[in-house]
Amino acid sequence: MVNENIATIVRARRLVRKTAKFSSESVYSFFGSIGLAAQRTGETLLWILKGKISLKDTVSQMVEMGWRSFPIIFLTSFFTGMVLALQMGSSTANLFNEPVYVGMIVGFSLVLELGPVLTAVVVAGRIGAAITAEIGTMKVTEQLDALYTLGTNPIKYLAVPRFVACILMLPLLTAMANIIGIYGGLIVTVTTWDVPSGVYWNDILSFMTAGTFFHGFIKSFFFAFIIVSVACHKGFSTEGGAEGVGKATTSSVMISLVMILVSDYFLSAVLVALGVK
């Protein structure tokens, strides 16, 4: 009995020591990773400020990120606009016996929140994952080392074009998503709720200002920054073969999604405080 108790105490002490060691290692690793991400992003921005941007590579990335993302952005925003109009029409019909302010609610919801956030989520899943997987695969197959030996800085060659392309294309995709979503809402409002299109547009244009548009547009720049910084950092930090690439890609998408949703609140708070709404 005494021996059993001693064994339990020894096991418990080992577990506490192990847990403490694991926690301190995790904290070091967490802050180390943030520092490294900041350093890489800083280096990328420095290359951009120096004007060391390959036009050919940047345009090719813009086509990949913008043009090839357009079909999925079209589908998601169009149906989001449609479902918003359907739900808002139904709710207001229940409350006021007729669907009112559908255009205004669809417009505000899309332009302020759903347009920028949904577009960023889709781009994080499609482009963020692709960036991490591509750079990560290059890392584990020594292609990044090969770039160094051929006199090329991997951050300048790989991160800079992707960074510039993402920062330019995400706001553009967001603006398109807003317009497409509003048209999706229009179709449902006119066909399902028999509201004339003039009333729908009047709802939107009477209540929305340029500030409303800029509120979402400004947020999309920050979301692009988050997606591409996380994706490149995770790619450059990949280790451990195919399994490592998989883990880095999953981690990249998850971190981007969480950061987009968390930062959305704080960005919105700041923009509202500044009167951009």
Partner 1 sequence: MIKVQDLSKQFGSKRVLRNVNLEVNDGETVVIIGASGTGKSIMLKNIVGLIKPTSGAIYVDGVDITKCSSNDLHESQKKMGYVFQEAALFDSLTIEENVAFGLRTLTNLGEDEIINRVAHCLEMVGLENVEDLKPSELSGGMKKRAGIARAIAYQPKYILYDEPTTGLDPIMTDVISDLIISLRKHLKITSIAVTHDMKSAYKIADRIMMLYKGEVIFNGTPEETRKTDNAVVRQFVEGSSRGPIETDRTFKEMEKI
Residues that bind partner 1 (CB under 8 A): 134, 137-138, 141-143, 145-146, 148-152
Rounded Cα–Cα distance for residues 175 and 164 (Å): 18
Cα 95 versus chain centre, distance: 36
Best CA proximity match to 216, nearest among 252, 242, 178: 178
The four Cα atoms 238, 240, 241, 247 give a dihedral, to 10 degrees, of -60
Min separation Cβ 196 and partner 1, Å: 52
Cα 272 versus chain centre, distance: 21
Residue 111 or 138 having the CB closest to partner 1: 138
Residue 132 or 220 having the CB closest to partner 1: 132
Best CA proximity match to 117, nearest among 179, 169, 170: 170
Beta strands in the chain (DSSP E): none
Residues in CB range of 259: below 8 A, 6 or more apart? 226, 230
Q: How many CB atoms lie under 10 A from the CB of residue 162?
A: 27
Residue 67 or 148 having the CB closest to partner 1: 148
Inter-helix orientation angle 129-140/241-273, to 10°: 140
Residue 51 or 275 having the CB closest to partner 1: 51
Min separation Cβ 87 and partner 1, Å: 44
Residue 119 or 238 having the CB closest to partner 1: 238
Rounded Cα–Cα distance for residues 202 and 185 (Å): 14
Rounded Cα–Cα distance for residues 11 and 3 (Å): 12
Residue 140 or 208 having the CB closest to partner 1: 140
Rounded Cα–Cα distance for residues 69 and 23 (Å): 40
Residue 27 or 146 having the CB closest to partner 1: 146
Q: Which two tokens stand for residue 5?
A: 């108790």
